[in-house]
Amino acid sequence: MGEVPGAAADAPPLRRTLYWGSGSPPAWRVLLALTEKGLPFRSEQVSFESGVLRTPPMLSLNPRGLVPIFIDGSVRMYESLAILMYLELTYPEPALLPRDAASRARCLTRMHEANSLSAACGEIVYYVRRTPPADINEAYLSAKRDALWEELSLWESYLVGEGASEACGRGLPRQGQRRRSGARSCRRGCSTNDAHACTHALRLAAVYVAGDAFTLADASFFPNLAYCVRLGLALEGCVCCSHGGMVKGRECVCALFTAGRGFLLFANSSCRRPFPVRRRYPNLFAYMERLTRRPTVLATWPPHWSQSPGLPILS
């Protein structure tokens, strides 16, 4: 039997049980929702390596042999998104779904859409893990990586908020142009003050993926994003290269592709731009930072992630 979050040692047996595995994003979704809602449950952590999920008792709970599996009294269910919805309908407070129809629709869309990120990431992970290094098809892998970057760009755009503004505060880029007024502008058209800091008003990044509150959409999406980061995805870094940049001290030391004789040749040089040049996914970066400070996220962080690094498959 696992530990019982939120329950006293002499508490009566709990009606809820969650079977989960460390590092499984679908299982983490349910751990997060239960913790956000403050629902005590019996925690049954299973080991993927042990093969226990393929034993008859576990297959009777989920014939697919996967976690999460959730039990609530006489209710037994699997499939993380179904469990999230069940929890919301059965235990509506505190709400993880917005009340108004438009926000609710957006939240449910994002909640399901998060599976596109796990699919894009999963294709790379399974390919790299199952293919002997000598047989890796670089063109195939590169296309799959591009698909993942595209998927992340979509989420990056979802995190752009509306209305709120603040100064971006970026340093003046080298190619700043002097405007008629005497003010200079950065590539985004930001105006700058004499202290070379951009004072352009930017739309603030939205705080959560479906608006300004943590919802089922975040419970669904965040574990997938954290999984990508665990596998080496760089949300920050120099965007001048396609590798996410490598930062040494305060400089990007990525190798650059440079033009030569009409071809793009690989030059083993570094761009040496001051870091941060730009964040590749600034809104996702801020979101990741914000959520990793959230108490429910900290309380449910995959235990083995704190003890060992992930394989750098996406770096």
- 65: DSSP letter: -
Least distance to ligand GSH, CB of residue 78, Å? 6
For residues 68-97, which are near ligand GSH according to CB under 6 A? 68, 79-80
State the distance between the two ends of the chain, measured CA to CA, in whole angstroms: 37
| Cβ nearer to ligand GSH, comparing 85 with 247 | 85
**Smallest separation, CB 170 to ligand GSH (Å):** 39
Least separation in angstroms between CB 220 and ligand GSH: 9
- 10-69 positions binding ligand GSH, by CB under 6 A: 21, 24-26, 48, 53, 66-68
- Check binding of 117 to ligand GSH (CB under 6 A): no
Tokens for 205, please give them: 């990044």
Residue 167 Cβ vs ligand GSH, minimum distance, rounded to whole Å: 41
E-strand ranges in the chain read 16-20, 42-45, 69-72, 75-78, 160-167, 177-178, 184-185, 201-205, 247-248, 251-252, 255-260, 263-270
5 binds ligand GSH (CB under 6 A): no
Instruction: Pick the closer one to ligand GSH by CB: 22 or 191.
Output: 22
Which of 4, 125 has the CB closer to ligand GSH? 125
- For residues 73 and 155, what is the distance between their CA atoms, to the nearest angstrom? 37
Indicate the residue type of 21.
G
Structure tokens at 181: 């007024």
Instruction: Supply the minimum distance, in Å, between the C-beta of residue 125 and ligand GSH.
Output: 11
Q: Select 7 or 77, whichever has its Cβ closest to ligand GSH.
A: 77
E runs forming strands in 168-230: 177-178, 184-185, 201-205
Torsion of CA 240, 241, 242, 244, to 10 degrees: -90
Neighbours of 97 (CB within 10 A): 19
Q: How far is the CB of 60 from ligand GSH (least distance, A)?
A: 15
Cβ-based nearer residue to ligand GSH, 124 or 252: 124
How many residues of this chain bind ligand GSH (CB under 6 A)?
Answer: 11
Of 29, 36, 34, which Cα lies nearest the Cα of 14? 34
Residues numbered 133-192 forming contacts with ligand GSH, rule: CB under 6 A: none
Q: Point out which residues bind ligand GSH (CB under 6 A).
A: 21, 24-26, 48, 53, 66-68, 79-80
